């Protein structure tokens, strides 16, 4: 099943290798991994999506926390969090395309339905930008293909996840303050037995 | 060294390195010089640190490891870049798999040429990433003190482990102000811990109260957390027998009536049978390694399991447990103990005792001398000699890896903490001699014995020269059977006695010792064992005994791969004289 982990890690050289190396050692395939700045100085936020047996979740989370560069780890289930991905799609849309001169208007229509944006127009192609759940993105790509458009390039960021609601994030709680900086009364993550039961969440397409 | 005014002394990075080690309480390091670490060596003499010159950097890492295991303090080793650093790898991995706190310092090429394949440049932080708890690359003099101090903290807190600090040559040469106190690591992120109000605690107490056939599985964590007294108290209060892992030997005293001995692949039959018949396993600071569980599907099928462990990643890794109490063992037991009512029902203990049967009567060490010398004799007699001399609590045994290691675990009765030093997780041949040097450096007042096979001894025998240079009175027992014994035993059991490359030629070990200026003796009769052992122990100098033992002896009981813990292979009945375990 798919697991989505959020890890707050130190922003230092080599940190990505350490995280990636952990998954390599556990022989677990990373489906996507996004890294960027977080609300906290010197701390990056990673969202790691991986395919692993459901029983592996606890071990992955605990192993991630074992890395010295890790500040905290959380596993976010679909129902608990908002999971989004950004995608750029370049579609061939010149006069020689199957739909000829109508190409462009059809693509504009599809984009509108999927709430994608046109971010580049060239004589032979159109670039779309779309944010959403993975299933939405896959939906748009599929429709384009089924309408006989040639997809020239796809670039997806991989998923980012955040728990819903104010302060519900275990990550935020661990940081101790609402804005996440400043001194903390740091609570260690609770790895007690009830958490050994992995967060079960169905791998189904999520509605917007 | 710390100066409270704002005029902290300007030191070179090399000086900062040593000054920080001194500040951390380090008095001995094990190392080998070379180009990229030469600035550090140039500054060494200004500091009150004794440097042991090894003969191979693998030895330096094992020495730091042996030092740490013997003393409970951090062991430090040092090597140059490139080949010096890569030679450390086996030693670091050995410490990693046994959770031993060592700090390894390596020189690195100058930061200006990092990544250019400069002479003797190797990406040692990359190489050691999976075999260190953490590692660092330092390129500036001012980062040396804080990084080293952090390395010590990482090595010793939580589940201990090796840490490597790679320091570029220019960082050693540059200068920076030095302030030891100011370089203290910032508050460490919290280690996962059990909440005191956790329902897991209540669940554990219920399971313990209801258990009729409980067994404590005593692991290395008892030693690391200093929980010996708590474990003894716990076992006595509930009248629970205690089985040990290899690395747990010595954590619970063997003389204690509740002590069963070692469990697992070469554990005695009654120990493994007690575990298989148990209804509650209490795993104290151990990790259900495959060598102690046998086939997991058949492991203790009727037992509930409580796992007390500092590393959450170990929970449910191999064995699914019913209750996990995460945290430092000593602290968890301190919380648990007052809540434990006393139990005086001794029926389970009696049952376990009965499982021992007539094992001891039939044991090789109690049988009349048949003219042959067995490794079991040698190990038993080393133990008996120390006991007779009242030196048992002042003796450290350092084993290598193989049959002799298992016989040591079976026949030497470890009462004292840190009295056995052995490579369990990685099973590193060549470990014993250098690790013993580390142990002797940590505990010069103790008697240190190396027990090594003829194969493993040859892997690091060059360190004999180190022993002599350091004038260390280390006792060396080579258990010489002319084979890579453990390999031969597997070939006998599982490969139709096809002894492919397991017979091994050895030099005359006594002559080899003599070439290093070390005295020695050959022993091939049981009657000569004790005298030679005493001679070695009391000589005040290093001494090597070449014990020429039975060539094709086997360690029994033995659990074949895939078998359950109770499905032990016994000694072939044709030669009942050699039965070393329970004969059921
Ligand atoms: C570095 C290393 N290489 C290979 C092995 C595999 N191995 C395990 S035990 C053993 C035989 C050890 O022979 P010896 O040192 O003579 O000891 P004995 O078993 O005879 O007591 C070997 C080769 C190992 N554990 N470590």
Phi-psi region of A6 (alpha: psi -120 to 50; beta: other; left: phi over 0): beta
Q: Which domains does chain A have, with CATH numbers?
A: 2-80+164-175 (3.30.70.260), 82-160 (3.30.70.1150)
B519-568, pLDDT tens digit by residue? 999 999 999 999 999 999 999 999 999 999 999 999 999 999 999 999 99
Domain end among B177, B211, B235: B177
Q: Is the CB of B475 under 6 A from ligand 1?
A: no
Q: What is the largest CA-CA distance in chain A?
A: 64
Summary mean pLDDT of chain A: 81
User: Residue B319: which of B307, B334, B333 has the closest Cα?
Assistant: B307
Q: Which of B24, B73, B120, B567 is catalytic?
A: B120
The tokens for B494 are: 């599982």
3-state helix, strand, coil in chain A (%, to 5): 30, 35, 40
Low-confidence stretches of chain A (pLDDT beneath 50): 167-169, 171-187, 192-208
Query: Does ipTM top 0.90?
Result: no
Alpha-carbon distance of B260 to B544, in angstroms, equals: 32
Model pLDDT, residue A202: 26
Alpha-carbon distance of A166 to A172, in angstroms, equals: 9
Residues B395 and B516 in one domain: yes
For CA atoms A23, A75, B155, B318, the dihedral sign is negative
Query: Any CB–CB contact under 8 A between A183 and chain B?
Result: no
Q: At B503, phi and psi to the nearest 5?
A: -70, 135
Q: Is residue B393 part of a domain?
A: yes
pTM of the model: 0.92
Residues B347 and B370 in one domain: no
Q: Is residue B562 part of a domain?
A: no
Q: Is residue B570 part of a domain?
A: no
* B313 to A62: CB separation less than 8 angstroms, yes or no: yes
Q: Is residue B275 part of a domain?
A: yes
Residues B88 and B99 in one domain: yes
The tokens for B84 are: 């010096």
Domain of B454, CATH number, reads: 3.40.50.970
Residues B169 and B211 in one domain: no
Q: Cα distance from B134 to chain A (closest Cα, Å)?
A: 7
Residue B190 confidence class, pLDDT cut points 50, 70, 90: confident
Model pLDDT, residue B583: 40
Model pLDDT, residue A199: 27
Residues B366 and B310 in one domain: no
Model pLDDT, residue B197: 63
Domain end among B315, B335, B355: B355
Q: Is the CB of B479 under 6 A from ligand 1?
A: yes
Determine the average pLDDT of the residues in B408-430.
Answer: 97
Residue B142 confidence class, pLDDT cut points 50, 70, 90: very high
Output the CA B444–ligand 1 centroid distance in Å: 28
A200-204, B295-299, B579-583: range with lowest mean pLDDT: A200-204
User: Residue A136: which of A158, A164, A116 has the closest Cα?
Assistant: A116
Size of interface A-B (CB pairs under 8 A): 66
Q: Is residue B312 part of a domain?
A: yes
The percent of residues in chain B predicted with pLDDT above 70, rounded, is: 95
Residues B408 and B389 in one domain: yes
Q: What SS3 state is found at A172?
A: helix
Contact residues, chain A, for B316 at CB < 8 Å: 55, 58-59, 196
Model pLDDT, residue B464: 98
Q: What SS3 state is found at B343?
A: coil
Q: Is residue B336 part of a domain?
A: yes
User: Residue B531: which of B395, B378, B420 has the closest Cα?
Assistant: B378
Alpha-carbon distance of B91 to B398, in angstroms, equals: 15
B104 touches B80 (CB < 8 A)? no
Alpha-carbon distance of B480 to B477, in angstroms, equals: 9
Residues B290 and B406 in one domain: no
Q: Is residue B581 part of a domain?
A: no
Contact residues, chain A, for B198 at CB < 8 Å: 192-193
Residues B415 and B538 in one domain: yes
* A188 to B315: CB separation less than 8 angstroms, yes or no: no
Task: With a cut of 90, say whether residue B418 has pLDDT above it.
Answer: yes
Domain end among B298, B333, B355: B355
User: Residue B304: which of A191, A193, A60, A59 has the closest Cα?
Assistant: A193
Model pLDDT, residue B575: 54
Q: Cα distance from A186 to chain B (closest Cα, Å)?
A: 7
Q: Where are the beta strands (DSSP E) in chain A?
A: 2-10, 29-37, 43-51, 70-75, 81-92, 117-122, 125-132, 151-156, 160-163
Residues B242 and B382 in one domain: no
Q: Is residue B577 part of a domain?
A: no
Alpha-carbon distance of A185 to A29, in angstroms, equals: 35
- Calculate Rg over the CA atoms of chain B: 25
Residues B349 and B383 in one domain: no
Domain of B317, CATH number, reads: 3.40.50.1220
Q: How many CA atoms lie within 13 A of B221 on its CB side?
A: 29
Ligand 1: which atom is nearest the Cα of residue B504?
A: 16
Residues B340 and B437 in one domain: no
The tokens for A160 are: 């980012």
Summary mean pLDDT of chain B: 94
A33 touches A47 (CB < 8 A)? yes
A136-191, pLDDT tens digit by residue? 999 999 999 998 899 999 999 999 999 887 644 454 444 333 333 333 344 455 55
Output the CA A66–ligand 1 centroid distance in Å: 32
Residue B5 confidence class, pLDDT cut points 50, 70, 90: low
Model pLDDT, residue B49: 98
Contacts of B234 (CB under 8 A, 6+ apart): B216, B240, B333, B336, B337, B340
Bridge partner residues of B23 (DSSP): none
Structural domains in chain B (count): 3
Model pLDDT, residue B360: 63
Alpha-carbon distance of B523 to B511, in angstroms, equals: 14
Structural domain range at position B461: 358-553
B438-454, pLDDT tens digit by residue? 999 999 999 999 999 99
B336-362, pLDDT tens digit by residue? 999 999 999 999 999 999 988 766 655
* B200 to A193: CB separation less than 8 angstroms, yes or no: yes
Determine the average pLDDT of the residues in B126-132.
Answer: 97
Query: Any CB–CB contact under 8 A between A21 and chain B?
Result: yes
Residues B328 and B396 in one domain: no
Determine the average pLDDT of the residues in B303-325.
Answer: 93
User: Measured between alpha carbons, how far is residue B357 from residues B262, B268, B354, B522 in Å?
Assistant: 17, 12, 6, 36
B355-386, pLDDT tens digit by residue? 887 666 557 777 778 889 999 999 999 999 99
**For residues B415-439, b (16+ Cβ closer than 10 Å) or e, as one string?**
bbbbbbbbbbbbbbbbbbbbbbbbb
């Amino acid at each position: 099943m798919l697991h989505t982990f959020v890890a707050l890690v130190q922003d230092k050289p080599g940190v990505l290798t350490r995280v990636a190396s952990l998954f390599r050692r556990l022989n677990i395939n990373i489906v996507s991994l996004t890294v960027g700045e977080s609300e906290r100085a010197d701390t990056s936020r990673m969202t790691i999506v991986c395919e692993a047996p459901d029983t592996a979740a606890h071990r992955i989370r605990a192993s991630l926390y074992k890395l010295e560069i890790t500040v905290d780890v959380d596993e976010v289930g679909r129902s608990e969090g908002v999971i989004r991905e950004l995608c750029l799609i370049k579609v061939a849309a010149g006069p020689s395309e199957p739909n000829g001169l109508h190409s462009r208007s059809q693509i504009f229509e599809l984009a509108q339905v999927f709430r994608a944006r046109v971010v580049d127009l060239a004589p032979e192609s159109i670039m779309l930008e779309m944010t959403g759940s993975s299933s939405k993105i896959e939906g748009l790509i599929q429709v384009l293909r089924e309408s006989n458009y040639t997809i020239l390039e796809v670039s997806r960021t991989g998923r980012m996840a955040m728990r819903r609601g104010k302060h519900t994030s275990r990550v935020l709680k661990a940081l101790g303050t609402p804005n996440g900086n400043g001194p903390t009364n740091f609570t260690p993550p609770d790895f007690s037995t009830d958490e050994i039961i992995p967060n079960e969440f169905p791998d189904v397409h999520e509605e917007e | 060294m710390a100066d409270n005014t704002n005029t902290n002394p300007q030191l070179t990075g090399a000086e900062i390195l040593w000054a920080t080690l001194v500040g951390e309480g380090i008095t001995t390091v094990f190392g080998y010089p070379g180009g990229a670490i030469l600035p550090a060596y140039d500054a060494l003499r200004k500091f009150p640190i004794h440097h042991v010159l090894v003969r191979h950097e693998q030895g330096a890492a094992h020495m730091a490891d042996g030092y740490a295991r013997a003393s409970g303090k951090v062991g430090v080793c040092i090597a140059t870049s490139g080949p010096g650093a890569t030679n450390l790898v086996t030693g670091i991995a050995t410490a990693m798999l046994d959770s031993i706190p060592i700090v390894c310092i390596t020189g690195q090429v100058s930061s200006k040429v990092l990544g250019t394949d400069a002479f003797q440049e190797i990406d040692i932080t990359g190489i050691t990433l999976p075999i260190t708890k953490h590692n660092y690359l330092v390129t500036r003099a001012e980062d040396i003190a804080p990084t080293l101090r952090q390395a010590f903290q990482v090595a010793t807190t939580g589940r201990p482990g090796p840490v490597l600090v790679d320091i570029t040559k220019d960082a050693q040469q540059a200068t920076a102000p030095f302030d030891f106190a100011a370089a203290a690591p910032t508050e460490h992120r919290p280690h996962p811990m059990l909440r005191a109000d956790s329902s897991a605690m209540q669940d554990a107490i219920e399971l313990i109260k209801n258990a009729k056939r409980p067994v404590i599985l005593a692991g290395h964590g008892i030693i690391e957390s200093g929980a010996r007294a708590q474990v003894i108290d716990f076992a006595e209060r509930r009248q629970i027998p205690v089985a040990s892992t290899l690395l747990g030997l010595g954590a619970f005293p063997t003389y204690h009536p509740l002590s069963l001995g070692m469990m697992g692949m070469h554990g005695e039959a009654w120990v493994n049978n007690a575990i298989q018949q148990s209804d509650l396993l209490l795993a104290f600071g151990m990790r259900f390694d495959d060598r102690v569980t046998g086939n997991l599907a058949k492991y203790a099928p009727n037992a509930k399991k409580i796992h007390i462990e500092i590393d959450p990643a170990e929970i449910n890794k191999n064995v699914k447990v019913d209750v996990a109490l995460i945290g430092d063992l000593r602290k968890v037991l301190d919380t648990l103990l007052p809540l434990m009512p006393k139990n005086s029902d001794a029926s389970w203990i009696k049952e376990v005792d009965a499982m021992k049967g007539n094992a001891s009567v039939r044991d090789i060490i109690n049988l009349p001398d048949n003219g042959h010398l067995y490794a079991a004799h040698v190990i038993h007699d080393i133990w008996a000699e120390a006991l007779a001399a009242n030196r048992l609590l002042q003796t450290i045994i350092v084993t290598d890896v193989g049959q002799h290691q298992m016989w040591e675990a079976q026949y030497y009765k470890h009462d004292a903490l840190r009295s056995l030093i052995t490579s369990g997780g990685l099973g590193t041949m060549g470990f014993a001699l250098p690790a013993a040097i580390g142990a002797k450096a940590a505990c010069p007042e103790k008697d240190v014995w190396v027990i090594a096979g003829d194969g493993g001894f040859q892997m690091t025998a060059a360190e004999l020269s180190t022993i002599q240079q350091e004038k260390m009175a280390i006792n060396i027992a080579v258990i010489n059977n002319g084979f890579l014994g453990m390999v031969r035993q597997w070939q006998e059991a599982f490969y139709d006695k096809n002894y492919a490359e397991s017979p091994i030629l050895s030099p005359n070990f006594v002559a080899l010792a003599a070439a290093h200026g070390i005295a020695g003796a050959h022993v091939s009769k049981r009657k000569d064992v004790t005298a030679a052992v005493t001679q070695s122990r009391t000589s005040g100098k290093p001494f090597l005994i070449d014990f020429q033992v039975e060539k094709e002896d086997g360690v029994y009981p033995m659990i074949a791969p895939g078998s359950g813990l109770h499905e032990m292979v016994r000694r072939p009945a044709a030669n009942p004289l050699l039965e070393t375990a329970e004969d059921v």
